[in-house]
Amino acid sequence: MSSVDSQQRVLSGMRPTGKLHLGHYHGVLKNWVKLQHEFECFFFVADWHALTTNYDDPSGIEQSVWDMVIDWLAAGVNPGSSTMFIQSQVPEHAELHLLLSMITPLGWLERIPTFKDQQEKLREKDLATYGFLGYPLLQSADILVYRAGKVPVGADQVSHVEITREIARRFNHIYGREPGFEEQAEGAIVKMGKKNAKLYRSLKKRYQEEGDMEALETARALLKEQQNISLGDRERLYGYIEGGGKVILPEPQPLLTPESKLPGLDGQKMSKSYNNYIGLREEPDSVAQKVRTMQTDPQRVRRTDPGEPEKCPVWGMHKIYSDADTQEWVQTGCRSAGIGCLDCKKPLIDAIVEEQRPLHERAREYEGNPDLVHSILQEGREHARDAARDTLEEVRAAMGLHYR
């Protein structure tokens, strides 16, 4: 696994919170379904992360795992196109977390924005634990153990990818300077042949002296094409052009995902904590009941009162589910009092129920066959462990822990 190839690998995970809702579907799962056809994707259940805040009551974790994975499968995450697994079944995550903790300054963890935010929000819990302080480092280990080059995150999670980049950079700086690094790198350049060696040196100079990012990308592509150098030499040359050492842990890049614009039933962000959600696999009658009782524009007290769609949570859902003609019908009818709130909600109910129909059908196959779900996760675990073991072998060797 070279640092160049890592740009084709994606890593993402979710805490097991049980059955998911439409906010998860539009904010995360639809993106996963798209990515699995464009990259090599690893999707994992972050059950250890669930313990960082719910260590005192883990009783619901197991059932939540199965419910959530069935939702993934129902949404179209395909085990034939991606690797799905449970975090705690790949112990290499924990080993890399431990090894990275040896080099990670305490202040790096304490400055993570979500550290103090969550302590404030969850004041009723005792979060003065190493597990809670160290969860960003465990997240870093989750990413780096697969040498994933891309991590799909929302804007509020970019800081977690940034600390991962800093930890990878620090690790490579400390352990990538193998004895005779420059001599080995220069020897690897010669192996590329005169023409490619000259081009590499030219690109290296442009990047190091002028900061030319295009030269860096061209050099990466050049190295990826080389057939007559070893994987180790390729990693040396990748680090050499950046003025560092051998790249053992590639720095990941955040893959920004559009924020889900689907509001909850009350207009706030859809969340189980707010009890304003529609489940990913909600029964049609329940969908209808929830949408019919949604809050609407408070100015429309009577059927004959004109309304303002922008002040109504129902309009927020129409922007996701309705076509241009229906949206125009809503805008005109609401403002003129030509339609009532129940009239406005009817096409929305139909659209949500229709969207969920194939999800219900796919889920039935897995709900009726739990062994199939277990086998998917078992197969995913084996594939994930193979990739993680490769990384740990190099990390152990770099840290002097490779024994005969």
CA distance 63 to 49: 16
290 annotated as ligand-binding:
no
CA distance 253 to 262: 26
CA distance 26 to 18: 17
Terminal alpha carbon distance of the chain:
23
Residue 259 to residues 24, 71, 141, 254, 273, Cα–Cα distance (Å): 11, 20, 25, 14, 19
Give the type of residue at 11: L
64 annotated as ligand-binding:
no
Give the type of residue at 89: Q
109 annotated as ligand-binding:
no
- The phi, psi pair for 326, rounded to 5°, reads -65, -40
Classified as helix, coil or strand, 160 is helix
Classified as helix, coil or strand, 269 is strand
280 annotated as ligand-binding:
no
155 annotated as ligand-binding:
yes
CA distance 62 to 43: 17
154 annotated as ligand-binding:
yes
Token reading at 105 = 């300054």
Residue 34 to residues 93, 190, 355, Cα–Cα distance (Å): 26, 41, 17
Give the type of residue at 310: E
156 annotated as ligand-binding:
yes
97 annotated as ligand-binding:
no
Under 8 Å between Cβ of 312 and 318: no
CA distance 107 to 350: 52
For residue 163, the cross-strand partners are none
CA distance 358 to 281: 10
Under 8 Å between Cβ of 246 and 2: no
205 annotated as ligand-binding:
no
261 annotated as ligand-binding:
no
CA distance 330 to 175: 62
Q: Taking the CA of residue 63 as centre, how many other CA atoms within 13 Å lie in the half-sphere pointing to its CB?
A: 4
296 annotated as ligand-binding:
no
Q: Can you say which residues are annotated as belonging to the binding site for ATP?
A: 15-17, 23-24, 154-156, 262, 269-273
Q: Can you say which residues are annotated as belonging to the binding site?
A: 15-17, 23-24, 142, 154-156, 262, 269-273
Q: Can you say which residues are annotated as belonging to the binding site for L-tryptophan?
A: 142
